[in-house]
Structure 1
């Protein structure tokens, strides 16, 4: 990084806030030394956590926010009554131009409601979607929606596919990402009406998308496609199931290596391989989901993450800001829509 990039942080969001947020910001500065933070929250709780004269003290500014959005707050209530909250003021900083992006580990529904109200959506997008990465046998894939929209119609799913395509090209560097709709089977007659209609629309849209049809749950880890599109209910269940499975495998490994003396010796000999496995499936490495479709960079960190995970969420925000992601997604959506219109006109 050669120019200072400013991000706003919701210091009061998350299970272990504000300590986790402050320590995460410190870790993020090791990778991005030119970052600057606007830290929103209760100053009397935040200030004692920052050592005077430290790197973080020089790279941050505390902005007092007296209110906190609770983890169980309804989005509508948070939107009406949370104007002085750390979450809302952190988002407002993006709208005003004081910050290029915002990172929060707070209430997902409230964050989405506030961000959509304050920043609005990109033209052509009705609903934002939460997108993040999944480790696969082939590398990484993008999955959306992960919980923003519990119910989606075919138009929403088509828009998610377009945004996922742009996200995969911009962030993963893929020239032509393959796209699949998550379903209960790959056959054309499987699934509910909206997902079948979405498949038809994607096939007949004329957009230059590499749509591969339906994929199933086991295709997620296999990396069958680069972009997996689903509604927020299914996507969130898949995400939490994957995280829980990773923890379960870790537990089984620990129990197995403790079962006998030979197992303990085997554990010592296999330490390098085990460390690689832990790193590969560690959910903290993939922490930091983006609200795609908003007119601004908004990153949602897992509420239960630690400083390492929050630092990775900050890293996602920094990377997207430096890549000019919002302008890219606007241009790409416009180009895709225009190309589809031209192809339809040529066919008439």
Structure 2
């Protein structure tokens, strides 16, 4: 354990907000009389969060006062645990996992981006936006390399996608947390290889269950690379589901009203992150559909790869071809291309059609 010291420059005082003061009182009350010191980690963590992810000397002393502990005891705790930052950090505090799995999967390349973009570890950029540190295992080994930025994980990174992520944060654009190639949880990179048609614990399996039991909205089956029959069965189920919802709408409903009735609009970018990806590499996307996707703020493979089932329904309905994105497995194709694949996988593709909602 290296020596950790408080920052030279300190604020004059620290006080919890009324909300955090009430939270702290509830936390302290969990412990019997004489054992309030057990809340020290929780209170220090909340003080750090309130102060922009760093602990000042006045904050440490405030926690000591609230817990009736000697100041030196609380200082010992704060300086022992590396999760407490003893000096100011950037608005976006990047913690890079450098443990063996991440190192083997490219953490050094991510570190090179951080050094080039931000500077050395511990340095805060002049605009106050970024700082970074290398930490031990963050618990997402299967999705290495990865970083934690403030309270969120960003996984399956490449130097290119990580650079784009920093650009988006700096510009205030929306970002997608979690896997940057769209896979769910710790699935294999190439998609599920077993139980690909079993979506629950109800005993259903086989192609029939794909049509009758579509997965939850945040777990599209497209990352599983379904075979042609399963993909078509799921697409048919989606078309039927969407058709029932649209039948309840007025005849003059707009394309957006129809899409909103069946799904959720995906996050949009105002402009490409540098050069837009060639979306026509996704089988089923031709010049017409590529233009429509650009109009929706979709310019990159990783955006399509991250679509949930609700977002797929929204886009498919808006573009007036519900079920087709499922049938042609755009998400699986885009995930492969986002990882640097040289070709896309198509299931039952039918080429691009000049279609758009309302036409």
TM-score bucket of the superposed structures, by smaller chain: under 0.3
Which one has a larger percent strand, Structure 1 or Structure 2?
1
Report 1 or 2 for greater relative contact order, CA contacts < 8 Å, sequence distance ≥ 6. Answer: 1
In the superposition, the TM-score normalised over structure 1's length comes to 0.26
In the superposition, the TM-score normalised over structure 2's length comes to 0.26
